[in-house]
Amino acid sequence: MQENAAKPGLVIHGGAGTIDRAKMTPEKEKAYREGLETALRAGWEILQRGGSALDATEAAVRTMEDNPMFNAGRGAVFTNAGTNELDASTMDGKTMRAGAVAGLQHVKNPILLARMLLDKSERPPHSDPPSGPVLMAGAGAETFAKANGIELVDAKYFFTQERWDSLQKIKKAEAEAAHSGKQYIISDDERHGTVGAAAVDAQGNLAASTSTGGMTNKIAGRIGDSPIIGAGTYAKNGTCAVSCTGDGEYFIRAAVAHTVSDLMEFRGMNVKQAAEEALNRAHELGGEGGLIAIDKNGDFALPFNTSGMYRGYMDANGKPVVQIYK
Ligand code: ASP
C-alpha cells in the first residue's frame, strides 16, 4: 500500500425492519451473523490488497445474494403473482458512473449485471450515444445479460419455503382485511429486506452497491428504490457512499441516498448528521427503514428507524462487527 494511502473502510446491511426477538431462534441469529461476517470478509479482503471500493461492495453484496437468509438473489421474496423480481444497482464515486437493473427473474446475481452496465457505460468523450445504458429492466435486461455471459438460472432457483410461506400469510391477512374492513399488520421481517455495501478504498475512492427482491406481495412490475440511483444507492468522491433499505416508495420520493451526499456538500454536515437527516425526510413522508453511509475518512453512519437492521462494519483492527437490534 502507498504511504499516503487512505484508510479503507467497509459497511454493510442486510435489511431493516421489525426484527422480532421472540421469533429469532439462536440458530437463525447465528446464521444471520455469519452471513454478515462472510460479506464483510469478502469485501475487506479486496480492500486489504489495494482493490477498489467498487469491487469490494460488489463482492460483499454477491455473498448475500447467494445466501438464502437475505432478501436478494437466492432468497428474494415473492410478488403477488408468485414470481421473484430482483433489483440491484451500483455506483462508483470516482467516475460517477453507475449501473442498475430491475425486474429480473432469471439473473442469478443481479449485482453482477448492474456492475457490467456500469463498466460498459464508459464511452470516449463526445461519442454517440454518449453513454451506455445506466438502468435496464425485465426481459431486455436478461437478453443483454445472456448475450454478455452473465449466469441465468431457472426461476425455481429463487424458491425458498420461508419466503413462499410469508407470501401466503400476507395474502391471507389481506383477504381477511378486505372482508372485515380492518387494517392488517405483518411484521417487516416477513415483508422485506435488502442487502447493501458501501466502502472507501486505499485510493480514497468511494462506492456503493445494493440488491433486493423488493417487498413480499409487491404488485408484479413494481420497482422500489434499490435500483434507483440517488434513491437506494449513491456514491460521490468528496462526500459519501450510501445504500438504503426500507419502504422503497418513500426513499424514492425523498431521494434519500442523494440527499445524504447533498447535505454534506451543500450544508457542510458530517456523514452522521447527513444520514440521520436524509432518513428523517423519508420518515416524515411515512416511510420506515435505514441506510448505511461512509465518507472518505472512513467515518460512517448506520441509522434506522425500525426495531432492527442487519448491519456490520470492519473495526479499526480489521475485525468484523455485526449488529441486529437497536
Ligand atoms: N427498499 C426495498 C424496496 O422497496 C425493500 C427493503 O429494503 O426492505 O424494494
Provide the percentage of residues in the chain whose pLDDT is more than 90. Answer: 85
Q: pLDDT value at position 2? A: 47
Query: In which residue are the cell numbers 453507475 written?
Result: 98
- Per-residue pLDDT band at 193 (split at 50, 70, 90): confident
Q: pLDDT value at position 188? A: 61
Determine whether the shortest distance from the Cβ of 287 to ligand 1 is under 6 A: no
List the beta bridge partners of residue 300: 294
**Residue 248 reports pLDDT greater than 90:** yes
**Residue 86 reports pLDDT greater than 60:** yes
Give 147-165 pLDDT, tens digit per residue.
999 999 999 999 999 999 9
**Residue 125 has which C-alpha cell?**
468523450
Q: pLDDT value at position 91? A: 98
CA of 245 to the centre of ligand 1 (A): 5
From 71, 243, 247, 305, the mutation candidate for ligand 1 (largest count of ligand atoms within 8 A of CB) is 247
Q: How far is CA 21 from CA 18, 25, 127, in A?
A: 9, 8, 55
Domains, the chain, in order of start with CATH, read 9-325 (3.60.20.30)
Q: pLDDT value at position 181? A: 81
Asked if residue 159 lies in contact with residue 213, where contact means CB atoms within 8 angstroms, the answer is: no
- When the pLDDT of each residue in the chain is averaged and rounded to a whole number, the result is 94
- pTM, 2 dp: 0.96
Q: pLDDT value at position 128? A: 84
- Per-residue pLDDT band at 185 (split at 50, 70, 90): low
Average pLDDT over residues 37-65: 98
Catalytic annotation on 160? no
Average pLDDT over residues 245-263: 98
Give 273-303 pLDDT, tens digit per residue.
999 999 999 999 999 999 999 999 999 999 9
**Residue 178 reports pLDDT greater than 90:** no
Average pLDDT over residues 115-140: 91
**Residue 121 reports pLDDT greater than 70:** yes
Nearest 5°: phi and psi at 197? -145, 145
* Region of poorest pLDDT, from 18-27, 214-223, 262-271: 18-27
**Residue 326 reports pLDDT greater than 70:** yes
Give the ligand 1 atom nearest the CA of 213: 9
Asked if residue 63 lies in contact with residue 39, where contact means CB atoms within 8 angstroms, the answer is: yes
Give the residue, by CA position, lying nearest to ligand 1 atom 4.
248
Determine whether the shortest distance from the Cβ of 15 to ligand 1 is under 6 A: yes
| Cβ within 8 Å of residue 323, ≥6 positions away | 302, 309, 311, 312
Q: pLDDT value at position 6? A: 83
**Residue 4 reports pLDDT greater than 60:** no
Give the ligand 1 atom nearest the CA of 214: 9
Q: How far is CA 217 from CA 77, 79, 110, 183, 188, in A?
A: 8, 4, 20, 16, 12
More confidently predicted of 8 and 185: 8
What is the spatial distance between Cα 263 and Cα 219, in angstroms, rounded to a whole number? 33
Query: In which residue are the cell numbers 419466503 written?
Result: 163
Write out the chain in H/E/C secondary structure: CCCCCCCCEEEEEEEEECCCHHHCCHHHHHHHHHHHHHHHHHHHHHHHCCCCHHHHHHHHHHHHHCCCCCCCHHHCCCECCCCCCEEEEEEECCCCCEEEEEEECCECCHHHHHHHHHHHCCCCCCCCCCCCCCEEEHHHHHHHHHHCCCCECCHHHHCCHHHHHHHHHHHHHHHHHHHHCCCCCCCHHHHCCCEEEEEECCCCCEEEEEEECCCCCECCCCCCCCCCECCCEEECCCCEEEEEEECHHHHHHCCHHHHHHHHHHHHCCCHHHHHHHHHHHHHHHCCCEEEEEEECCCCEECCECCCEEEEEEECCCCCEEEEEEC
- Per-residue pLDDT band at 1 (split at 50, 70, 90): very low
**Residue 231 reports pLDDT greater than 90:** yes
Q: Using CA atoms in the order 253, 254, 255, 256, what is the torsion angle rounded to 10 degrees?
A: -140
Average pLDDT over residues 19-31: 88
